[in-house]
Structure 1
Amino acid sequence: MARFVRWAALGATAALLVSGCDDSSGDAQSGKNGDSSPSSNSSLASQKLDWGRCEATDEASAPGGEWQCATLKVPLDWDKPEGETIGVALIRAEATGDDRIGSLLFNFGGPGGSGVSMMPSYASTVSTLHERYDLVSFDPRGVAASEGVRCRDDEEIQAAEAKVDATPDTAAEEKAYFQDAADFGKGCQKAAGKLLPHVSTTDTARDMDLMRQVLGDEKLHYFGISYGTELGGVYAHLFPEKVGRMILDAVVDPSADTVGHAKNQALGFQRALNDYLESTGQDPAEGTRKIADLLDRIDAEPLPTSAPDRKLTQTLAVTGIVLPLYSKDGWPALTSALEAAEEGDGSELLALADGYNERDASGNYGTTTHSQRVISCLDDRQRPTPAQTKALLPEFEKISPVFGAFLGWDTAGWCHDWPVAGQHDTPEVSAPGAPPILTVGNTGDPATPVEGARRMADELGKDVGVVLTWNGEGHGAYGSGSDCVDSAVDTYLLDGTPPKDGTVCS
């Protein structure tokens, strides 16, 4: 089961509903700030992009013109900037007005989400910004059209979904769980080859600075969502003097290590579940117990579904519950799916899980979770052992009887026996000298709890981090129904004036 930080999950939801930092890892994130970046000295900075009509997106047109796509050449290894190159896929729609500010670069999260496929569907949300900015996004290295990694085929994925229990209860299940994790890592190593050690967030941040130069922008104007906030923070640390206007929405807590991040998510998803249960007139504690009991029964006996030869396992059931919590619009679908499951039909929860896992009606799976894993396991140095994880399970289950065990086991299983060492315990995002960076938190955010916005602001540094909070629901605040949030973000990006630190939108 994939880690839950994924902005891309929102796209799946919409489609379904219509139908303290440690940088002791050496130079992984240090010593290459501003113009001292290798990209500034590389001949790659003078390359010309060959923009043409996009073939990879179903939406070839955008307000004011067509989407254009191009490929940026970047070094495979940033320690050898004049060496072998790889391609990073870009998409843009040029500003619709005359008073152009520059490019506004988007990362929609994951890690592993495709900006090339997401940008056209997000354009209507940022139509006001589009008047003065070229809307630009990209597939980070190791993702989709940018040397995207597929670690196992569709048949292997479906087999693992049916057989592997993400919360093992017996020695045999535990052995199978960790063996599957090791096998997945081997598949990634075989698929990615020499790329595997070069898909870190730091590598992508350096790609972004090269992107800035090739696009002709003196400063990087950036809109990062979910994991994109961590990427933005890392960029700000590496290139504080090159930061322009930067928005970080649905903020990942940069002070949290592997276990801390999992605890944050257990807390966030339980909060969102509580809010959902209250909206249906249920006591959150009683509703949570009822769902936990349902999951226990499914663990003992998977539910039949309308899909041929597929049953709803406990792992798939939890994934199906997770997806609609990303957006309040998904809550009615969750109600219907839980009611059907209580009646013995797992079809609706399975459909929700398939939406999260990017499985289409033909049984083909997307590769977002593959890229997510190769990036996060290269970033994260911590590798909790099975024994350490089991000792922590009571604490996780106390935080969330529904999600705690899954996220607890994930701390040991996600990067188990990974073929490449991780780079750091927590990302370095301090950015002394950078202009104000706006961090936006949402009190009902399930995947990136609201506390992350303040912690990111604190880590960015005094006079840099500015916090805006929305008392709302769903993953991400901008474009989610708050005129207060949208106005504050638009004003900052268009006029350069951030809101007062600590501003709260009701």
Structure 2
Amino acid sequence: MSTLTPARARRTPPRSRRVLAAVAGALALLAVTACSGDDERPRERGPGVESRPAEDSYPGLSEELAGQRLRWGPCEAPTPLQGEGTAPGEEWQCSTLTVPLDWDQPDGGTIDLALIRSRTTASAEDRVGSLVFNFGGPGGSGVLSLPQFGTEYQELREGGFDLVSFDPRGVGDSAPVTCLDDATTDAEAQEPGGPPENAAEEREFTRENEEYYAACEANAGELLPHVTTANTARDMDLLRHALGDDRLHYFGISYGTQLGGVYAHLFPERVGRTVLDAVVDPTPDRLAQTRLDLEGFQLALDHYLQHCVEFERQDCPIGSDAEAGNGLLADLVEQLEETPAPTSDPNGRRLTADLAMTGIIASLYSEESWEYLTQGLQELFWTSTGDTLLLLADFYNGRDAQGRYSNQNAALTAIRCADDPSGMSIAELREYREEFMETSPLFGEWMVWGLSGCEGWPVPADQTERPRYAAEDAAEPILLVANTGDPATPYAGAGRMQEAMGGPEVAPLLTYHGEGHSAYTTGDTCVVNTVNAHLLEGTVPQDGHTCGE
């Protein structure tokens, strides 16, 4: 069996009775920060990299912030809020960037953002600039993610890019949003789960959401209105400025595509070579979004079930009927609502229905993870134990071996609600339960509760900022990359993002016919070569180009 590797990025998973309040999701990728060292700025400049542009201006921003120089030094091991991991190797350097807490009042309070980079191995003449990454979530620490996935981008580093990433505001080691402590999170994950089934459970659902939101407000109150994607895009432009690049070269995955789209809207003249892989749907309609998510995960599950019966054969725990597998899994999760499965966890934790659903979701992000789903289902069906799905759920939820949680779920909730505080009442979402169940016997009853959105979030709507994507004046074309089998950011969303940004001339679309979340890291030669040519050479593929057929 291959080694379990991090999922690329994720959006919101199905909501259970309790973790619905936490909006469980985002990914556990994480790493490090805090550094000291010589005051340093790249002095060698090749084609496409100019000195700090004179036209940059930040009205109201102090000279101290606008002119700050990044101090790079050795990276430490990740903090618990960033996630589990070790200090990266010597080729990695860390720093911090200071940004305004409130970009509408840039002379007010500030926060520090954790940064990481690996310098290009190319000559000074061949250096292109910095390539900034966001790996998704929202809530994933880029400071840990980039070293973890660094080998996959080695050709870009060798070709002329300094690889750079950061913990966005509210995430990891960048003014992190926190809500519940580790012990409470563990305890609530062990409570009986499943979607509310009667009025009493609906009231309990509402009460727990209110308590969770109150805890977020108590622990991170003044930060909550300011963790919008738009503010992170503004932070990213100041990062570009501090790195010394005239334009932002950017690689965004999953939620990182949303961030990249917002950046292109706010700073079209500063758009450099940009790739948005696993493109999110920009539709502001929560019902449409949740329907798309449901269809995406059901499609991925159908593909897994068909693979299981065709290739696993006698080892496939659902038998030989892929279609019947949907009902078998739904029945299995329903049984776990009443009787959680035992595990070998040293603290006696059991696999609840909530955790089983999270583990199943986690395994669908990559075709390489299907074997873990098979193993987990074999354990449940054949031995009534839940070790593998618990491991997958812990990984997805950012829980390490010591029982410490990253802040990815709290950050996901805060960022999502800062971007869009809307949500349906319980009475409204009930209307869609039957429709969702018909679409997916396993996911439907759970995901309909995602329609409650941010109902009751303590930040008023007039203090939030919804993302916008129109970027007709972008200085360079923005390459969109979409996977037809993507469960978390279904393929249809890429077409809508293309339209929102201004059409194929602004944002040509590269289609990959495959499985899993994102396309570049599948290793498909066609995808990798097309993306690398765009980033390293400025070669823009024709809209409609396809790979993997």
Query: Across the two proteins, how many residue pairs are aligned to each other?
Result: 481
CA RMSD of aligned residues (A): 2.2
Q: 1:109 touches 1:225 (CA, 8 Å); kept in 2?
A: yes
**Equivalent residue of 2:427, what SS?**
helix
Specify the alignment match of 2:39 in structure 1.
Answer: none
Q: For residue 399 of structure 1, what is the amino acid of its counterpart?
A: T
1:297 offset after TM fit, Å?
Answer: 1.7
Deviations 1:121-149 (A, max 9, x none): 11100001002011000000111110112
Trace 1:13-412 onto structure 2 (pairs within 5 A).
38=58, 42-43=62-63, 44-57=65-78, 58-61=86-89, 66-98=91-123, 99-131=126-158, 132-163=160-191, 165-281=193-309, 282-307=320-345, 308-343=347-382, 344-412=384-452
Q: In structure 2, what is the equivalent of residue 495 of structure 1? A: 537
Cα deviations by residue, 1:273-317 (Å, 9 ceiling, x for unpaired): 111111112544211111111112222322222234322221111
CA contact (8 A) 1:182 1:416 kept: no
CA distance in 2, matches of 1:100, 1:110: 30
TM-superposed deviation, 1:9:
5.2
The Cα shift of 1:42 comes to 4.6
In 2 relative to 1, CA 39–45 (structure 1 residues): closer, same or farther, beyond 3 Å?
farther
1:39–1:45: 8 Å Cα contact kept in structure 2? no
Cα pair 2:340 2:351 within 8 Å, conserved: yes
2:491 aligns with one of 450, 468, 481: 450
- Whether 1:8 aligns to 2:27 is yes
- Separation (CA, whole Å) in 2 of partners of 1:9 and 1:267: 24
Shift of 1:36: 8.5
Is the CA contact 1:254–1:426 (under 8 Å) kept in the aligned structure 2?
Answer: no
What is the DSSP-based 3-state SS (H/G/I as helix, E as strand, rest coil) of the residue aligned with 1:465? Answer: coil
Q: Percent identity?
A: 48
8 Å CA contact 1:7–1:108 kept in 2: the answer is no
Q: State the AA in 1 paired with 2:190.
A: A
Residues 1:276 and 1:256: Cα distance change in structure 2 (over 3 Å): farther
CA–CA distance in 1 between the matches of 2:467 and 2:437?
Answer: 27
Q: Is the 8 A contact 2:172 2:407 kept in 1?
A: yes
The one-letter amino acid of 1:108's match is: F
C-alpha spacing 1:124/1:106, structure 2 compared with 1 (3 Å): same
Which deviates more, 199-208 or 258-267? 258-267
Q: Does 1:416 align with 2:441?
A: no
Q: Distance in 1 between matches of 2:450 and 2:100?
A: 32
1:478 maps onto 2:520 in alignment: yes
Which secondary structure does the structure 1 equivalent of 2:405 belong to?
Answer: coil
| Residue identity in the other structure for 1:77 | D
Structure 1 segment 458-469 matched on structure 2, within 5 A: 458-462=499-503, 463-469=505-511
CA distance in 1, matches of 2:322, 2:287: 25
Match of 1:440 among 465, 481, 484: 481
**What is the SS of the residue equivalent to 2:94?**
strand
Match of 2:18 in 1: none
Higher mean Cα deviation, 225-234 or 192-201? 192-201
1:366-411 Cα deviation digits (max 9, x unpaired): 2111111111011113221111111111222222221122221122
Deviates most, 436-445 or 284-293: 284-293
Q: Is the 8 Å Cα contact of residues 112 and 175 (structure 2) preserved in structure 1?
A: yes
The two structures have a TM-score, normalised by structure 2, of 0.83
Change (3 A) 1:170 1:225: same
Q: Is the 8 A contact 1:39 1:210 kept in 2?
A: no
Contact 1:381 1:425 in 2 (8 A): no
Cα distance, 1:394–1:286 mapped onto 2, change above 3 Å: same
Structure 1 pair 161/83, CA: closer, same or farther in 2 (3 Å)? same
Contact 1:160/1:180 (<8 A) preserved? no
Helix, strand or coil at the partner of 1:443? strand
Quickly say closer, same or farther: Cα 1:150–1:10, change in 2 above 3 A: closer
Structure 1 residues 6, 157: CA separation in 2 closer, same or farther (over 3 Å shift)?
Answer: closer
Measure, in 1, the Cα distance between the counterparts of 2:239 and 2:449.
Answer: 38
Greater Cα shift, 167-176 or 432-441 = 167-176
- Distance in structure 2 (CA, Å) of the matches to 1:39 and 1:297: 59
C-alpha separation in 2, matches of 1:290 and 1:39: 60
What are the Cα deviations for residues 68-113 of structure 1, in whole angstroms up to 9, with x where unaligned? Answer: 1111110010001122111011111111101111110000000010
In the superposition, relative to structure 1, how do residues 164 and 436 fare at CA in structure 2: closer, same or farther (>3 Å)? Answer: farther
Q: Residues 425 and 82 from structure 1, CA distance in 2 versus in 1: closer, same or farther, beyond 3 angstroms?
A: closer
Shift of 1:40: 8.7
Extract unaligned runs of 5+ from structure 1: 13-33
Structure 1 residues 492 and 327: CA distance shift in structure 2, 3 A: same
Deviations 1:44-77 (A, max 9, x none): 2211111111113534326xxx211111110010
> For the Cα contact (< 8 Å) 1:468–1:504, is it kept in 2?
yes
Comparing 220-229 and 460-469, the one that deviates more? 460-469
Distance 2:417 2:397 in 1: 19
Whole-angstrom distance in 1 between the partners of 2:506 and 2:342: 53
Post-superposition shift, 1:365? 1.7
What is the one-letter code of the residue matched to 2:485?
G
Matched-pair contact (CA < 8 Å) for 1:6–1:227: no
